[in-house]
Structure 1
Amino acid sequence: MEFILYLVLILFFTKVAGDLSVRIGQPAVLGKLIVGILLGPAVLGWIEQGSFINELSEIGVLLLMFIAGLETDLEQLRKNWKSAFAVAVGGIILPFIGGYSAAVAFGFSQNHALFFGIIFCATSVSISVQVLKEMNKLNTREGTTILGAAVIDDVLVVILLAVMMSVIGTGNDISIGLLIGKKLLFFFVIIVAGWFVVPKIMKWMAPLKVTEAVISAALVICFGFAYFAEWLQMAGIIGAFAAGIAISQTGYKHTVEQKVEPIAYSIFVPVFFVSIGLNVSFEGIGEQWGFLIIITIIACITKLFGGWIGARMTGFNSRSSLIIGSGMVSRGEVALIIGATGLQAGLVLPQYFTSVVIMIIATTLVTPPLLKLFFREKEVQR
């Protein structure tokens, strides 16, 4: 029955912390993220990471990105694809150089330094999506560019990871051609399925004489797309996002949106926010505080300005470019997965793993205030 107590704590404290965060002028998601650190092993130890938390949080992030897909303006996304690509590339090159250079400066071997650079390249916009939704900015030109850049970033980072692990000898069985082929296959299949199959599934299931048939159909598509993405070595959140876009092009968009949001935000999304904080541990960090501060600053600055450069090169003004860059700062669960993969492969030194995790959490924590600040400054300038 321990998991029921966990749910009680998570649901109560995330709502209270979210409200307090809004009252002091910050996005609600910031308070929810901090609650995860407070309730987890790092401070109070009331909640521990486990399969129950992991599975519910996975559903939470998939639903979060599914809702983002539902609310995305596809025409705006098409218009901004060049900017999205430039932001994604800028958000990989600068962070890779920064992460690699920091690792070399602290005496890492060449292989460890190269992998360290890859961790810095990761982007997870699930937190940015929540902030943009709270501020009603998801369908702005900046918001859609951030979403598009995140999809491209995910593809490029996975390919870079495979290339790097092949080159440094821990993944010689990985065929780069096969990996790229899988990415192309993924996008081909989801475009065809989104255009032809999804509307048919929705029309077929909607009239069924059962409770909430439309929502069940939408969730089948969401989780089906996510599973297909994972099967082809893409992040599941990209599949869920694509499913949301596909359903948004049907006549069921508003029905699905109105009924999925209560399911997501009442249970699953709060668990996801808390699960991020549960990864924090301060054990042994006293000896590495200098290393931690430096890599966190580098991680934030390189992603911010990498995105800024990409946006500026494709026609955004300086303030909008800062908004886009700040939306790309969060490393979230994507970097945690890459870090854990490196630890298992011996490419992340165990004694530095805690610092890496805290750096990832720190980038996730600074993203909401940065987005809020730069959007507010943009509105003041008008």
Structure 2
Amino acid sequence: MDYIGGIALILFATTIAGALSQRIGVPSVIGQLLVGILLGPAVLNWIRPGELVSVGAEIGVIILMFMAGLESDLKLLKRYFKPAVSVATFGVILPMACFYVYGLVMHQSFERAVFWGVVFAATSVSISVEVLRELGKLNTKEGATILGAAVVDDIMAVLILSVFVSMFSSRSQQSPNLALSLVEQLAYFVMVYVLIRWIAPILMHLFKRLALPQSVPIMSLIICLGMAYLADLTGLSAVIGAFFAGIAVAQTPAQKEVTANISPIGYAFFVPIFFISVGLEMRFDHFWTNIWLIVGMTVVAILSKLVGGGLGAKLLGFSFNSAYVVGAGMVSRGEMALIIAQIGYQAKLLAPALYSELIVVIILSTVLAPLLLKHAIRRNQTELPAADQQAS
């Protein structure tokens, strides 16, 4: 029964840490992760990685990605399609290229150097959204572009992650039939389209007609877990199935009902266990030895997204300061990078000795991102009155 006490401790500690983090302006994710470090082998050693935490974390990351899909606004993406795609594309390519080169310089293998790029190609704009909302800039051209680019960025990051993990897994297992695996994965993406277009709406409608009060959320979980399982069977990451399942359900009239019912299950129980599990894996034996590696990675993480996202906006006619706002809004890595890092760690795509350092860089880029965005917005505001004066 010790695991019951462990779960109670995890839920209590993550709730308090999340609340304190939000009060001081830091994402609650960071507080939950720090609790994992504190309670884990790195500090107090009260909770250790085990089967219960592993299973809870796996379900947590699947629900987290399902919620990310549910919250993806495809209508907004259609409205700002060109700038969103441009910002997301350059915001993915530049970090991947920079971290690949940086990884080779730091004597990482080809796979591990590429995977550094995959981790930091991801973005999480939940923090940027709060800053934009606070400053009344959420409905501006820059704010809408950031939100649209986040949808494209998430899709690209999940696809790159799944393809890369699949290729590395095939290589490591010396699979004799890579062509068959690729055909299966292509068939899976065709099924994703069919799910979004026809299957999900039909299933959600049928279950809505049942007398059970929770039939619609239950059906959404069946779709989520089923797609995650099928993705895993084809050699893709389970998170891609959960993510596209969320997108599929989001296109149905049941989206708000599903969000209202699934969100408490995920964020109250399974998601905290996932972030705790990330902290439990961290060690600081070589932290000070690798301090300059951490500094270098943090600089590359911030500049590559800032320049990449900004360049994508500038090429489509945004002013310099406006492009600066868009680039700054894409810097935060947050939970998306943590998910990718954890999957890579389990797939042995990250060097165990550098896992903790990578997580620290994700935390630093997430904490510094809102400060950078606020500076960019203030600079852009000073440009607007000057432009108005010149026009008059």
TM-score where L is the length of structure 1: 0.82
1:84 Cα deviation after fit? 5.4
Q: Which residue of 2 aligns with 1:115?
A: 111
1:225-256: CA deviations, max 9, x gaps? 22222222333222222222222222222211
C-alpha deviations, 1:257-314, integer Å up to 9, x for none? 1111111121111112222211211134454444444345434543554444344445
Looking at structure 2, the residues matched to 292 and 225 of structure 1 have their Cα atoms a distance apart, in angstroms, of: 36
Compared CA separation, residues 25 and 187, structure 1 to 2 (3 A): same
Relative distance call for 1:203 and 1:133 in structure 2 (3 A) is: farther
Q: 1:318 aligns with which of 302, 320, 323?
A: 323
8 A Cα contact 1:202 1:217, kept in partner: yes
Matching residue of 1:376? 374
Q: Aligned AA for 1:116? A: R
Specify the code of the residue in structure 1 equivalent to 2:343. I
Q: C-alpha separation between the residues in 1 aligned to 2:309 and 2:104?
A: 24
Answer yes or no: is the 8 Å Cα contact 1:150–1:328 preserved in 2. Answer: no
Assess if the C-alpha contact under 8 Å between 1:206 and 1:217 holds in 2: no
State whether structure 2 residue 259 is matched by structure 1 residue 261.
no
User: Which amino acid letter does the alignment assign opposite residue 273 of structure 1?
Assistant: F
Q: Distance in 1 between matches of 2:169 and 2:264?
A: 41
Shift of 1:165: 8.0
Q: Distance in 2 between matches of 1:304 and 1:2?
A: 46
1:43 alignment partner in structure 2: 43
Aligned to 2:157: 153
Deviates more, 1:291-300 or 1:4-13: 291-300
Q: Distance in 2 between matches of 1:282 and 1:237?
A: 29
Question: Is this contact kept in 1: 2:231–2:241, CA < 8 A?
Answer: yes
CA displacement at 1:175 relative to structure 2: 5.6
Structure 2 distance, partners of 1:190, 1:128, is 23
TM-score (norm 2): 0.80
- Deviation track 1:94-116 (CA, whole Å, cap 9, x = no partner) reads 4444444444444x3xxx43223
How many Å separate the matches in 1 of 2:270 and 2:121? 17
Aligned to 1:353: 352
Q: Structure 2 vs 1, CA of residues 306 and 50 (structure 1 numbering), >3 Å: closer, same or farther?
A: farther
- Would the alpha carbon gap of residues 86 and 3 (structure 1) be closer, same or farther in structure 2, given more than 3 Å must change? farther
After TM superposition, give the deviation of residue 79 of structure 1 in Å.
4.3
Correspondence for 1:244 among 243, 246, 252 = 246
The structural deviation recorded for 1:145 is 1.3
Query: Matched residues, percent identical?
Result: 30
Following TM superposition, by how much is the alpha carbon of 1:219 offset from its aligned partner in structure 2, in angstroms?
A: 0.8
Kept in 2: contact 1:41–1:47 (CA 8 A): yes
Distance in 1 (alpha carbons) for counterparts of 2:62 and 2:205: 23
- Residue 338 of structure 1 corresponds to 344
Aligned match of 1:32: 32
Pick from 184, 191, 194: which aligns with 2:196?
194
Pairs within 5 Å for 1:87-236: 87=87, 89-91=89-91, 93-106=93-106, 108=107, 112-123=108-119, 128=124, 131=127, 140-160=144-164, 170=172, 172-173=174-175, 177-236=179-238
1:90–1:307: 8 Å Cα contact kept in structure 2? Answer: yes
> Measured at CA, do residues 125 and 197 of structure 1 come closer, stay the same or move farther in structure 2, by a change above 3 Å?
farther
Query: 2:386 corresponds to which residue?
Result: none
Q: For 1:373, give the aligned amino acid.
A: L
Amino acid paired to 2:145: R
Alpha-carbon distance between aligned partners in 1 of 2:57 and 2:245, rounded to the nearest angstrom: 19
Please give the residue correspondences for 1:269-284 in structure 2 after superposition, counting only pairs within 5 Å: 269-284=271-286
Aligned to 1:76, what secondary structure does the other structure show? Answer: helix
Deviates more, 1:67-76 or 1:8-17: 67-76
TM-aligned CA distance change 1:374 to 1:113, over 3 Å: same
Cα distance in 1 for partners of 2:302, 2:180 equals: 33
User: Could you give the per-residue CA deviations for residues 313-349 of structure 1, whole angstroms, max 9, x where no partner exists?
Assistant: 4555323432353145763232333344346xxxx6x
Gaps of 5+ in 1: none
Q: Which amino acid aligns with 1:149?
A: D
Instruction: Kindly provide the amino acid, as one letter, of the partner of residue 268 in structure 1.
Output: F
| Pairwise CA distance, 1:376 | 3.4
RMSD of aligned residue pairs (Cα, Å): 3.3
For the 8 Å contact 2:57–2:271, the answer to whether it is kept is yes
Q: How many residues align?
A: 368
Alignment CA distance shift 1:22-1:127 (3 Å): farther
1:68-93 deviations in Å (ceiling 9; x for gaps): 32232212223455555555554554
Query: Aligned partners of 1:157, 1:299: CA distance in 2, in Å?
Result: 18
